[in-house]
Amino acid sequence: MIRVRIPQKNKEIEVRGPRRVMDILAEAGVRPTTVIVTRGKDLLTKDQRVEDGETIDILSVVSGG
């Protein structure tokens, strides 16, 4: 399984791999233009494939106020 963390929402889900980033975002209900997706120190493009056993972070980039 792929571990998907959404730290700003204190949320974590697991999805079956392998899966492209854009598909994981769709499953998590997150719009691609509102986030960056990281794996450790790497920044991932939306077409990148994530494998079972890996952990990724979805970081919101939207600031308000």
Partner 1 sequence: MKCKRCGKTPASVDLPSHHSAFCPDCFFVFFRRQVEEGIRRFALLAPGDRVLVCVSGGKDSLVLWDVLMELGYRTEGLYIDLGIEGYSARSKEKVLAYAASRGKEPIVVDLRAEGVPIPEAARIGRKEECAVCGTVKRYFFNRVAAQRGFSVVATGHNLDDEAARLLGNLLHWDADHLSRQHPLLPESSDGLVRKVKPLWRVSEVETASYGFLKGIDYVTEECPMSVDATSLVYKEALSLIEDAMPGTRTRFYSGFLQKHGDAKPGAAPMDVPELFARDTGEEDRPAGTCGVCGAPAYTETCSYCRLKEKVRKAMERR
Interface residues toward partner 1, by CB under 8 A: 7-8, 31-36, 38, 42-48, 59-65
Closest distance of CB 60 from partner 1, Å: 8
Closest distance of CB 2 from partner 1, Å: 19
Provide the β-strand partners of residue 46: none
> Which of 1/36 has CB closer to partner 1?
36
Residue 23 burial (C-beta neighbours within 10 Å; 0-12, 13-18, 19+): middle
Closest-CA residue to 5 (of 61, 59, 63, 53): 59
> Which of 16/33 has CB closer to partner 1?
33
